[in-house]
């Protein structure tokens, strides 16, 4: 069973919600290690009457800090200590709700990139189930970066869904091959030449709602806006649904439909998404929202454990090795 390190000091609700998320994950059968200030973590465990191993870290990276500077200056930061545990082989994966930039910097610095990866990417699951990357790790990308994202995304789709050959689409402003900026036009040809994936060509934003491909590739600037827009739209739509059925005359119908409505709420709840993978480093790293609750943390631990069990990192490495010009 894989051991998951949790950055207990990362996030707006740290360490309370993070520690409780670790407890929930442990109760679900996962091996977890809490990394952070032991003096702040211990009382939470005592109050919960639960024991978990703690690796003490005397510092933490705040959301407002510059990630690169903070990682250089705070050598005992919890996110950096947690990343070192993967490098040393003491743990198999890392979960953090702290600064995504700090998680990225610490992972590259302490764990290292996979051979052939120039820029790790953040991959998340769209409500339709599609893997979308990059979600914000790289605001500026080159065409070969997008090609690497395609390989990594296909590997994630394979480990998560068990598919042998994932379909990959390139997010663009039109479906025709000549559409988009120089970035998309050149990336199109590179992705089309990658063996082992089913490239379906350009995919427009409207097609994401109908699962046009198993993997959607884009630069981090576009992907982050897409992610935030999708999450905001989901909340708005669910709010409209509740407002539409709130009239007294619908009370009986709502009581009957309550399980379906709650199921829809859970499906659209980003807390249940299991976080987002930081792909391209020599280990499994899962990042979650800064406002993550205990549910989000326990879901992220589940995501990380699945990736370790199914050999995600090795599968990405193999995909890169088999793709000429990308490794």
Please tell me the predicted confidence (pLDDT) of residue 239.
82
Let me know if residue 305 belongs to a domain: yes
134 lies in the same domain as 112:
no
Let me know if residue 266 belongs to a domain: yes
Let me know if residue 316 belongs to a domain: no
Please tell me the predicted confidence (pLDDT) of residue 212.
79
Please tell me the predicted confidence (pLDDT) of residue 268.
66
Please tell me the predicted confidence (pLDDT) of residue 270.
63
22 lies in the same domain as 78:
yes
Measure the CA–CA gap between 11 and 195, rounded to whole angstroms.
39
Please tell me the predicted confidence (pLDDT) of residue 310.
95
Let me know if residue 317 belongs to a domain: no
Cβ neighbours of residue 27 closer than 8 Å, sequence gap 6 or more: none
Please tell me the predicted confidence (pLDDT) of residue 210.
73
139 lies in the same domain as 207:
yes
Please tell me the predicted confidence (pLDDT) of residue 177.
85
Please tell me the predicted confidence (pLDDT) of residue 2.
96
Regions of the chain where pLDDT drops below 50: none
Note the pTM of the prediction, 2 decimals. 0.89
pLDDT digits (tens, 9 = 90+) for 252-297: 777 777 777 777 666 666 666 678 999 999 999 999 988 889 999 9
Please tell me the predicted confidence (pLDDT) of residue 209.
72
Q: What is the CATH number of the domain that holds 252?
A: 3.40.718.10
User: What phi, psi does 235 have (nearest 5°)?
Assistant: -65, -40
Two tokens, residue 45: 């465990």
Please tell me the predicted confidence (pLDDT) of residue 246.
79
Please tell me the predicted confidence (pLDDT) of residue 199.
95
Rg (CA), the chain: 20
Among 251, 271, 291, the domain-final residue is 271
Let me know if residue 239 belongs to a domain: yes
147 lies in the same domain as 210:
yes
Q: Is 192 helix (H, G, I), strand (E, B) or coil?
A: helix
In the chain, the number of structural domains is 2
Let me know if residue 249 belongs to a domain: yes
Please tell me the predicted confidence (pLDDT) of residue 46.
97
Please tell me the predicted confidence (pLDDT) of residue 149.
97
Measure the CA–CA gap between 147 and 145, rounded to whole angstroms.
5
Let me know if residue 60 belongs to a domain: yes
84 lies in the same domain as 204:
no
60 lies in the same domain as 174:
no
265 lies in the same domain as 125:
yes
Domain of residue 22: give its range.
Answer: 1-117+280-310
147 lies in the same domain as 259:
yes
Let me know if residue 9 belongs to a domain: yes
Please tell me the predicted confidence (pLDDT) of residue 271.
61
3 lies in the same domain as 71:
yes
In the chain, which ranges are continuous DSSP H helix? 16-27, 38-48, 67-73, 78-88, 100-106, 143-161, 182-192, 220-244, 251-268, 294-309, 312-321
């Amino acid at each position: 069973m894989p051991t998951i390190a949790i950055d207990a000091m990362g996030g707006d609700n740290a360490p309370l919600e993070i520690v409780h998320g670790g407890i929930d994950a442990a109760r679900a059968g996962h091996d977890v290690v809490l990394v952070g200030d032991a003096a702040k973590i211990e009382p939470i465990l005592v109050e919960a009457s639960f024991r978990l191993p703690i690796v003490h870290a005397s510092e933490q990276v705040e959301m407002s800090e510059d990630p690169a500077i903070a990682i250089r200056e705070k050598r005992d930061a919890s996110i950096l200590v947690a990343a070192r545990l993967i490098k040393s082989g003491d743990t198999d994966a890392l979960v953090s709700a702290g600064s995504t930039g700090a998680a990225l910097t610490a992972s590259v610095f302490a764990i290292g990139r996979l051979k052939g990866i120039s820029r790790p990417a953040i991959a998340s699951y769209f409500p339709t189930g599609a893997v979308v990357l990059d979600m914000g790790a790289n605001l500026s990308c080159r065409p070969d970066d997008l090609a690497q994202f395609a390989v990594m995304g296909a590997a994630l789709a394979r480990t998560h869904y068990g598919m042998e050959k994932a379909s990959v689409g390139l997010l663009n402003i039109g479906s025709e091959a000549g559409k988009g900026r120089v970035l998309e036009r050149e990336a199109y040809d590179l992705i089309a030449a990658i063996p082992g994936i089913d490239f379906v060509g350009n995919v427009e934003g409207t097609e994401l709602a109908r699962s046009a491909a198993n993997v959607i590739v884009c630069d981090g600037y576009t992907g982050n806006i897409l992610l935030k827009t999708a999450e905001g739209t989901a909340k708005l739509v669910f709010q409209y649904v509740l407002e539409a059925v709130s009239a007294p005359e619908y009370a009986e119908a709502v009581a009957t439909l309550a399980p379906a409505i709650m199921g829809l709420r859970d499906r659209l709840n980003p807390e249940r998404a299991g976080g987002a993978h930081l792909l391209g480093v020599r280990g499994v790293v899962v990042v979650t929202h800064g406002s993550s609750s205990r549910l989000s943390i326990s879901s992220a631990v589940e995501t990380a454990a699945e990736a370790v069990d199914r050999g995600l990192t090795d599968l990405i490495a193999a995909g890169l090795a088999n793709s000429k010009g990308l490794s």
